[in-house]
Each structure stands twice: as structure tokens, then as C-alpha cells.
A and B are shown apart, each in its own frame.
Chain A
């Protein structure tokens, strides 16, 4: 397109047609004051501060909404412009309450900044403050709409970025204000408390509620959020070496841009919680007594050394953490494998369904790792299975909702009505555990309708013949019936997806279910058949529950793989690492989390070292886990908070939270995000890598690393996936390096073909007449994982969520239950007591139990099972029965 030539403040410039005058000015380094403009939002022209004059025509116009035109002669600060601009600010100030001194936006209020820059102190206008009631009913956001300047940024962020639609302008003229439906308080609307509006508000109209600190922080530092696997960039406000405020990083190219979720914004209160561990402790009888680091570390080295000598290396187990950094996990498993000589090392990712994901990993030779969430906006169609990202990974859901709102077909396959269904083109209310059959039926129909990508199949895959033959012989009608859905919705899904690349978003509803591996297999076949892998129009997005679930696996904190996800059973891989580490690596596959508990029960496991996990809360059957752990000779827990597990430990080591140390996380996209320390670790606590480094030297590791860079250097040198890591800074990020040898992922078009896998047989259903309901366990956006950290967050606690069990109104009627009644939910494994809530979007026969509440008692319903065991029900669901205990009074 031909460039347009024009002048701005006397300088000749050129730019592409369609650019606004404001963008053009900023590109040329000329600043124009503005209040309602934000680069991530559609320009709106509400505040009129960005007025400029075209000297040629004499017109004055708002530069944010006026596109450039040829031969304009723009002046941004002509006397006329200045006069108008000053008048606008004067009128805004005249309507503004005089509360600047106590306003929590303080020096960051953009209205105040602009008024100061223009030298407007007194307005010389009759003050007409527009007093509105202050809304302080929820623990997160304070609304003081007296200070609102009607720029509409909150409304547009709500509609365009997070796509929730909780607020819009209400009324007209002087009375006009942003309001929720029926002008109710935020907690009675569909507001998700993501806080995006608070961060984007240019004045003090929307502020964070925090009783601890009001004012401008000393300094602001970037870091990466430590909750879910999306890995949002955060800007932390620090006062007196304490984190007092969190805003979205707003960095170009980051996952979240200007958005966050309620956890990222408000749940970091745990950093300053009273329950933080600040000194090493050793058990003396019933008590944990504070000791020096020296004593604590010596005790650990001595005891672990003795246990290894007496019972052998296999008597020691190590729980690593999907919340700790890559560097820490690397060091952790290195201690296990090289010093202790065991592969008994695992992390919480096992519970999130790692075994199901291994299918993808093995079939793609470690490919398919890089899926930028940003690409979702350009996807041709989106298929969401077993996931409610608006609760589990909210920032991911924003991208899906934006795409759906822009017209991308969105299909939600989930037994429950999720937050995405209102925006979806189709919701398939499938029976639990039947996704595999549904996907295969869909593939069969697409094959029948020629919905496959022949060129892609021929170029990159093999074995499509047998696969398509199997599809042809398929009876989708019969299978479809078994999934609890109807043929019409399947046909409709095929219609929506035909000829399109599919971006598949997979949640824990798939990975944690018992047929997770089969389902992932079927999904990969579907993706290959439609040519949806390695294209921006498609992709395979697997939601990671925790911030470094992906990285912990990459670093080898798993019983069956070495760093770089190299299988332990592969002799060559072992040899390579033996050379790097200069030790012999045991070829015996280690114990996973659950097996470690079982072996402790049997008395075979003598010592356990836990870093950053709280298995008493995060594993099913907490009581049984506790009994098992009590049988151990020696239990070390390295964590940041006093929790269920630290209470029974022999030695407790205080670690550092993510923002108290440097390191890197790998998110669900395959993005490696580095960050540096924001605040120092509290009291005598230390960064976890430092603890491990000190301990390793005491246990015989030849040399201390002494610095994070040295650990990182070893990682980048020896883990091919992480070869890009070194160029990282805390405002930057890199991507995992593609190492797959398949042609599909190679850059030069060479390599082997990716095979289609055969259709796996239908599994028999597990039914239990005594337990007629199917309970689905799932997260709510206010908590993460088992809720150890979020339950320590003051504002989340203050919100007073009860975690009601959800039940369909139909079942409620048959059982004579109404919302607010108390029920006992009982499975073969255990029981819990909660209030219930009747929820329209739930199918009869289903019960939804939110996890992380009440000490995460939801996991009592589950058995301590192996996810790979086909007879198990997985970690997502179980059969239960309900019993009414009390009435809603």
C-alpha cells in the first residue's frame, strides 16, 4: 500500500493509510496527552485530550480516532489546541472531588499528571463534584465513581480484552456512569475480579482494596506470575521490601498484555502472610525448633547419607515441584540421580495428568511444544475439550473468548456448561470420560465429508490408510449414542470444522481422566488428519495447572525421564547424561508420587525430601498419606508456608517464593520466562536453588555452583530444548527449541513421518449402583491447585467462598434439595460435607465438587490410584452418593 505523506509539528513524515494521527505522532516520538486511549483497546475518542490541529484546514480533531490523510499539516501544541485542552482538563477537575491527598492512585493518577503538566491548579470554575456512593463491599476492588471521568477504559477492557461484559455505561449525561446489570455491586454481577479495569483506570475511580498499604510504591519490578501455567508477566509494586501491589506487566508480546486474573492480581497476599516460614527448623519431640542453616543442612546430609548406606538409594524418594523454577528442578533431580543415586523423583504434575500427555510427547518425538496463545485469535476454529479455562487459566480464556466474539467457530465439549458456552457456536454436553469416542466419531464424519487435509497427510504423516479404513468402518451413530450426545450436534460440529484448521484446547477434564491417554491419542489423530499441527491457524494447547508444570518435566523431575524429557529407558540418553555429570545413572525407573506413598506405607521407603509440594493437601486421601509419611524415618520439607506437611516434617527448610528469587519458568505455550528477584526472601529463608546448592556440596557434590548463572549455563549446554535460555532477561522471553526429528517440525523439510495411531477399543464403563452420581472435581478461579497458597491469601479468604457442591435442579427436585442445604457427598473412598447449589447448566446425574476448599477435602473422594491404571477412575471424577444433612435456614 502506498504511504501517505504529511507533516507533524513541521516535520515531514510518511506512514501507512489507516494509521491514526496519534499512532503516527507516537511513532515519530511526539507525545500527545491522552486519557481514554490504550494501545490494546479500540480507539474511542471519549476524553478529547488528544486534540490536534490541522493547520491547512484549521480543523481541530481528536487524534486517536482520526486517520492520517495526505498533506495534513498537524500541529500538536498550537495555541488553539492548548486552549481547548486546558479547558477540557479544567472541566474534568471541576467535576472531580478534592481527594487527591488520600487517593490510592496517588502520583500515578493520569488526570493529576496531565493537570500538573498543564499547570492547572485552580480551575476558576464552579466546582460541581458528582458524588457517588463509594462501593467497598468486596475485598478486591473499591469503586469510587465520583472520580470517574467516563473514559470508558474499564468498559472496553471488560468487553474487548477479558470479554466478560460485567459493566457498561448506564444512564445519560451528568448521571452517566459505568454500571453492572441492574447497577448492583460487583460481587452480585458476573464480574470475575480480574482487576484489569483497576490497572487500566487512569484515575482513582477504580482502586485495589488493600487495608495494608495506601500510596505509591517505592519501585516497580517485572516478574512472572507463580500461579497457573499461563505465565503472565506481572509488575510488582514494592514498598519497604514488601510486595504491596500487583499490576499486569503490559509488556509487548507477553501472554497477558494488560490483563490478569483474580489470582494474579489479588491472591499474592500469601507473600506477606503470617504463615511464611522464615527459619530452618528441626523436630525435637513434638516441636519444631529453630536451628541454624548449618545445623539443618548437616542433619539432612548426615541422615540421608546414613539411610542410603543402610537401606540403599531406592529407599529415598524426592518430591520436586511444579511451582519451583527450572534451575531448581534441574538441581533437585541432579541431587537425586547423581548424589543419592535414585530415580525416585517426581513432581505435582503427575496429578495433573502427565501420563496422558506422554502420548503426544512420544508420538511427536517431543514436538508440538510451541503453541502461542496469541495465535488463538487467528485460529480458524477452536475446539475446547474438558476444560473451563475461565476458571483454571483465565488469561487463556480471554484469548478464546476474543476469538469467538470475532466470529471464530468455538465448540465446547464438556459435561458441564462452562463460562465459554455462552460465546460458543456449539456446546456438546458429553457424558464424562466419553471424549475419545466423540472425537473418533467426529473424525469419521469429517472423513466422510472430505474434511481432511490431503496435502498435509501426504507430506508429513504415515499410516493414514489403515486409520481412514478404520474410520470408514466406524458407526458414528452408535458411538455417538454412547457419548450421551446426539447425532445432530456431531453433524453440526463437523459442519463448523470442515475444511478448517482446528486449535484444540485440552484441559484436565481430559488429562486427568482414566482414558486420558486414549483421548490424547485420538485428538492427535484428528489434528493430523485436519492438518492442524504446526500452523498458527490450529495448534494443540494443553492447559498446565501450575506455573512450571511443563518446566519441571523438561528438567527431569520425573521418575522415568532425564532432563530434556529423554526417556530413562534409552541407554544412549543415559550415557550422555552420565558423561555430562560424570557419574553412573541407575537405569531403574523410579517411583512416581503415588508409588512413593505406597512404598512408605509398606516401610520400603525410608526418607522423603519434599520441595515446594504439600502432598497432605494435594494428594487424594490426605489421612492415608499422613499415616504413610509418619512411617518414614526421615522427612524433609522445603517450602514457603506452614502447611499440613511441614507440621509432620523432621526438618523444615524455608524457601523463597518466585518473586523472592531469580529463575525461569516454562509455561503451557512452551515459552521460557526468566525473572530476577523483586524482593529479598523474608527472614532467614533462602532461594530454593541456593538451599539445594548448599546441600549438594555437603552431600558430596564436588563443587558449589554459587550462582544461578552457572546452573543455567550447565542447563543450556546440556539440554537441547533449553539452548535458547541464555539470551533471556526479565523483560524478555525465549521459546523452547524444537528438537523433534519429524519432518513436520523440522525447518528444512527433512525427517521422518509422523504415524497415525490405530483406534483404540472402547473401554467398558465403570458403574456403581450404590453410588449413582458422577462427581466431577474442578477448580474455581479464586484458588489454584490444592489451595495451599491461595488459602493463605487474605483477600481470597475475605471473599468468603464456600465452595458449594453443584447439583442439577432436576436432581435437586427428586431429592428434595434446594440451594443452601447441607449434604454429605460420599464415594467408595471417602466423604465430605458441604452446602449445595442448584446449577442450571449441569446435567442430571452429575455433581460438581470444587477443589481447594476446606483443606482440599474434595480429594478425599478419590482413591490413591495410578493414573495409568485403566481400572481407575482418574483424578477428575468418581462415583458418589448424596445424603441430605441439613436444611438451608
Chain B
């Protein structure tokens, strides 16, 4: 399966909006990341033209920040916390379980572009440890059963 088609018109209009704003590179990238789900490598030259930077510079910024990605991600991005508090509360087992359930390794995306599995140094919700996020929703006090039920919810949505 292929990832979602890129809406090049939408992408161009975002770039056009920031034309000439060298300082606005990061907001521009954030908008693209938000709208498209990733920053298509083919758009780097268009972006660099618009903000008067070298393409290699724009690439450098994209690859520096974990928030930007050059690869398309799944519809649901699962981020498992690997922070200290979560680790103490069994975060490693949660990750192992997640790998098994999704059949993915870290930073991998399922071939049908439904799921991407990532780890995060800390989600900042230690009081809920062990934690994870699916897109923008936090799930805390995880247990193997809870993990399965959360995932089932998204897998079900997929089936619909």
C-alpha cells in the first residue's frame, strides 16, 4: 500500500505563505509536517528557494529535530515512553509488547501505513507511568491488557 497522496497544491500554498521569511523556516516546516504528516524530500528545494537558504541547510534543520520527518508515517503514531519513571514501572515490557502486537521495530512503519512505532526519552507524564501516546492522546498506567485494548480500538477503527 502507498502512503496518503501528497497534496502538492496545499504544500505549495504553505510554502508560498512563508516566502522570503528566512526566520520562518521552522514554523513553515511545522505546518507542512502537520498538514502532510511528513516533509516530502522533494519539497526541500522548493522550501529553500522560498526562504533563501541552501537546500542542504533546510535538510539539516529537518533532520536535526525529532519533530520533523522525511518519511511518511502511519495514520497512528505510537510513542512509547522510555523515561526513568516509566522504566521503573515496566516501560520496557510495554515496548516489547507493543512491538509484538504491531509487528514493528522501533521507528518502523507498517506496510499499510496504519501504525508507526517510536520511542520517546520522556513524555513528561511520569505520574501516569508507564505511559505512551497515540497521535496526541496520552495513555497512562498501562498494563498489558490496557495496551491490547487501546490498540484494538485503533485497529477496529481501521477495519471500519
Interface residues of A (CB under 8 A from B): 159, 164-172, 179-182, 189, 422
Contact = CB atoms under 8 A, between A and B. Distances in A.
B138 interface: no
Contact of B60 (A170, A182, A189): A170
Interface string B84-109: 00000000000000000000000000
B20 interface: no
B60 A168 contact: yes
Given A172-B64, A181-B55, 6 more contacts: A168-B54, A168-B59, A170-B59, A171-B63, A171-B64, A181-B59
Contacts of A172: 63-64
Contact of A179 (B41, B45, B59): B59
Contact of A165 (B44, B54, B63, B64): B54
Contacts of B63: 170-172
B59 A165 contact: no
B56 A179 contact: yes
B137 interface: no
A605 B44 CA distance: 62
B60 A169 contact: yes
B57 interface: yes
A171 to B, nearest CB: 5
A759 B143 CA distance: 88
B64 A169 contact: yes
A182 B64 contact: no
A422 B59 CA distance: 18
B59 A182 contact: yes
Contacts of B44: 181-182
Q: Which of B44, B49, B60 has the most CB of A within 10 A?
A: B60
A165 B60 contact: no
Contacts of A179: 56, 59
Contact of B41 (A164, A165, A182): A182
Nearest to B41: A182
A167 B44 CA distance: 14
Closest 5 CB pairs of A and B: A165-B54, A168-B56, A168-B60, A181-B55, A169-B60
Interface of B: 41, 44-45, 49, 53-57, 59-60, 63-64
Nearest to B44: A181
A167 B64 contact: no
Contacts of A181: 44-45, 55-56, 59
Name the residue among B45, B56, B57, B63 with the largest chain A CB count within 10 angstroms.
B56
Contacts, number: 39
Contacts of A168: 54, 56-57, 59-60
Q: Is the interface of A mostly helix, strand, loop or mixed?
A: mixed
A167 B57 CA distance: 8
Contacts of B57: 159, 165, 168
Contacts of A159: 54, 57
A170 B63 CA distance: 6
Q: Which of A179, A180, A181 has the most CB of B within 10 A?
A: A181
Contacts of A422: 49
B38 to A, nearest CB: 15
A422 B64 CA distance: 26
Contacts of B64: 169, 171-172
Contacts of A182: 41, 44, 59
Which of A167, A168, A172, A180 has the most chain B CB atoms inside 10 A of its CB?
A168
B85 to A, nearest CB: 23
Nearest to A170: B63
Contacts of A167: 56
A182 B71 CA distance: 12
Nearest to B66: A172
Contacts of A169: 60, 64
A164 B54 CA distance: 8
Contacts of A180: 56
Nearest to B64: A172
A422 B50 CA distance: 11
16 contacts: A159-B54, A159-B57, A164-B54, A165-B53, A165-B55, A165-B56, A165-B57, A166-B56, A168-B54, A168-B57, A168-B60, A169-B60, A170-B63, A172-B63, A181-B44, A181-B59
A166 B60 CA distance: 12
B39 to A, nearest CB: 12
A182 B55 CA distance: 9
Nearest to A159: B54
A170 B58 CA distance: 10
A846 to B, nearest CB: 23
B61 to A, nearest CB: 9
Contacts of A164: 54
Nearest to A172: B64
A352 to B, nearest CB: 33
A165 B63 CA distance: 17
A422 B52 CA distance: 9
Nearest to A405: B52
Nearest to A167: B56
Nearest to A166: B56
Contacts of B41: 182
B153 to A, nearest CB: 34
A170 B41 CA distance: 13
A171 B65 CA distance: 8
Nearest to A183: B59
Contacts of B45: 181
Nearest to B59: A181
A167 B56 CA distance: 5
B63 to A, nearest CB: 5
Nearest to B56: A168
Nearest to A173: B64
A168 B56 CA distance: 5
A581 to B, nearest CB: 57
Contacts of A166: 54, 56
B67 to A, nearest CB: 12
A422 B51 CA distance: 12
Nearest to A169: B60
B45 to A, nearest CB: 8
A834 to B, nearest CB: 28
Contacts of A170: 56, 59-60, 63
Nearest to A175: B63
A804 to B, nearest CB: 22
A189 B45 CA distance: 12
B68 to A, nearest CB: 11
Nearest to B49: A422
A192 to B, nearest CB: 13
A426 to B, nearest CB: 15
A165 B53 CA distance: 8
A179 B55 CA distance: 11
Nearest to B55: A181
B118 to A, nearest CB: 15
Contacts of B56: 165-168, 170, 179-181, 189
A740 to B, nearest CB: 41
Nearest to A171: B63
A415 to B, nearest CB: 22
B5 to A, nearest CB: 21
A840 to B, nearest CB: 13
A728 to B, nearest CB: 39
Contacts of A189: 56
Contacts of A171: 63-64
A75 B110 CA distance: 58
A62 B7 CA distance: 47
